[in-house]
Structures are given as C-alpha cells and as structure tokens.
C-alpha cells in the first residue's frame, strides 16, 4: 500500500512539473550596443498590446500591459528598426474578480515586483531582424526595471491591410531582470511557496494609418 501511494506521489510530481513548463523560453544575453534608433512614434498604442502570464503552484494569472509610445520602421517590406515603450502603470489582470485583480495589480506594481513608482516604463528596442522561413527572428534589448538584456523572439509582420508586428508567445526569466519576489533563484528555501521565474509574454503592435 505504501509503495502504491509513493508511486502516485511520484506521478503527481512529474505531472505537475510538466504542466508547469513554459513553451518558448528564451535566453537573455548581454545588451547589444546600438546607435540611437529612429523615432517617429507611428505605433497606434490604442490598438497595440503586450500580454503576460505568470504562475505558481496551484494556478496562474494573466493580463495585459499597454504601450506608452512606439516606433516601427518598415522599408521595402522589412523591419529596419523598432522601439516600444511599455507603460507599467497600465498593468491589468484578466482572470480574477475586480477586487482580487486590483490586489494582484497593486502587488505587481510594488517594489516586490516591478516597482513602477521607481521604474514607470519598460522598453524593447529592436536591434536586428532575421528572416527564418515563415517567421522572423527579432532580436532586441528588453529593459525591465534597471536591467537590460538582449533577447530573440519569434514574430511575424503582416502588411495586408494593417501593418501589424506580432510575436509568438515567449517566456522570459524574471530573475534575469532583478524581479526577485518568490523567486527560486534567490529564495530556494521557499519550496512550495515559490512563484515561477518564467513569465510568458507576447507583443501585438499596429502601425498608425493602416
């Protein structure tokens, strides 16, 4: 009987671990030094959005963040530069009741997580774009809080009708960006109270006038 219970526990742990894995995890590398990019503020911030999803043992939460401003330069059907400023004060939750959602957003906004009073914006600056069959490998400098890292994300560019730059869902390690609360990397002794270090994100950017 004890052996059977032990087997069930092992299976549950393995299932939980597999369920907790994030698809599209990307590596954060050292910031790429680039010259000042062209800024035209041609992104429709009302029609553009960043999504997020975080998880811990027992569940997950997801929501959106809005852009404050953005530029996307396209020449001859190719992206030559991009610069997107994310308004961290616009964090929203989409899966909880208004009261609990407000509490979560307040906590995410505090110095436990993104400390938006000190760091009101995040930023993604495109540094290079490589065509890979039907997708683009977009490399850029992502700044969250006081840390900037180079990441490469899969994305597409649509020019039929509206010009829309859209990334696949990818996952960053928040610990790389000094977001420490409940992190296994910084607090391994927390065990089942650990909050997953991987945060899923995606971008959908629409250019004005299309």
3-state secondary structure 84-152: EEEEEEEEEECCCCHHHHHHHHHHHHCCCCCCCCCCCEEEEEEEEEEEECCEEEEEEEEEECCEEEEEE
How confident is the model at residue 210, as a pLDDT?
57
Task: Output the pTM of the full model.
Answer: 0.83
Rounded distance between C-alpha atoms, residue 195 and residue 191, angstroms: 9
Query: What whole-number distance in Å separates Cα of residue 163 and Cα of residue 48?
Result: 11
SS3 (DSSP) at 114: coil
Question: Over the chain, what is the mean pLDDT?
Answer: 85
pLDDT of residue 8 exceeding 80: no
Nearest residue to 136 via CA among 42, 205, 210: 205
Count how many residues are written for the chain: 210
Per DSSP, the three-state class of 2 is helix
Q: Give the domains, in start order, of the chain with CATH numbers.
A: 25-206 (2.40.128.110)
pLDDT tens profile 57-88: 889 999 999 999 999 999 988 999 999 999 99
pLDDT-based confidence at residue 178 (cuts at 50, 70, 90): very high
Q: Name the percent of the chain in helix, strand, coil, to the closest 5.
A: 20, 45, 35
Q: Quick: pLDDT tens for 17-62.
A: 334 444 568 888 888 887 776 678 899 999 999 999 999 888 999 9
Residue 37 or residue 9, greater confidence: 37
Q: Look at the block and give the residue holding tokens 């910084």.
A: 186
The separation between CA 129 and the C-alpha centre of its own chain, rounded to angstroms, equals: 19
């Amino acid at each position: 009987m004890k052996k059977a219970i032990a087997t069930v526990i092992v299976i549950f742990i393995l299932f939980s671990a597999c369920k907790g894995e994030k698809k599209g995890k990307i590596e954060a590398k050292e910031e790429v030094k680039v010259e000042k990019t062209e800024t035209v503020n041609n992104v429709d911030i009302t029609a553009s959005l960043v999504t997020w999803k975080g998880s811990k043992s027992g569940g997950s939460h997801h929501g959106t963040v809005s852009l404050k401003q953005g530029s996307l330069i396209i020449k001859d059907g190719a992206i030559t530069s991009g610069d997107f400023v994310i308004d961290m004060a616009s964090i929203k939750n989409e899966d909880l009741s208004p009261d609990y959602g407000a509490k979560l957003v307040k906590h995410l906004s505090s110095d436990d997580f993104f400390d938006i009073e000190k760091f009101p914006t995040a930023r993604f600056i495109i540094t290079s774009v490589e065509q890979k069959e039907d997708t683009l490998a977009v490399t850029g400098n992502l700044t969250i809080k006081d840390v900037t890292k180079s990441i490469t994300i899969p994305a597409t560019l649509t020019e039929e009708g509206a010009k829309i730059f859209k990334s696949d869902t990818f996952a960053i390690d928040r610990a790389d960006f000094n977001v420490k609360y409940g992190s296994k990397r910084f607090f391994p002794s927390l065990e089942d109270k650990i909050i997953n270090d991987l945060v899923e994100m995606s971008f959908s950017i629409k250019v004005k006038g299309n």
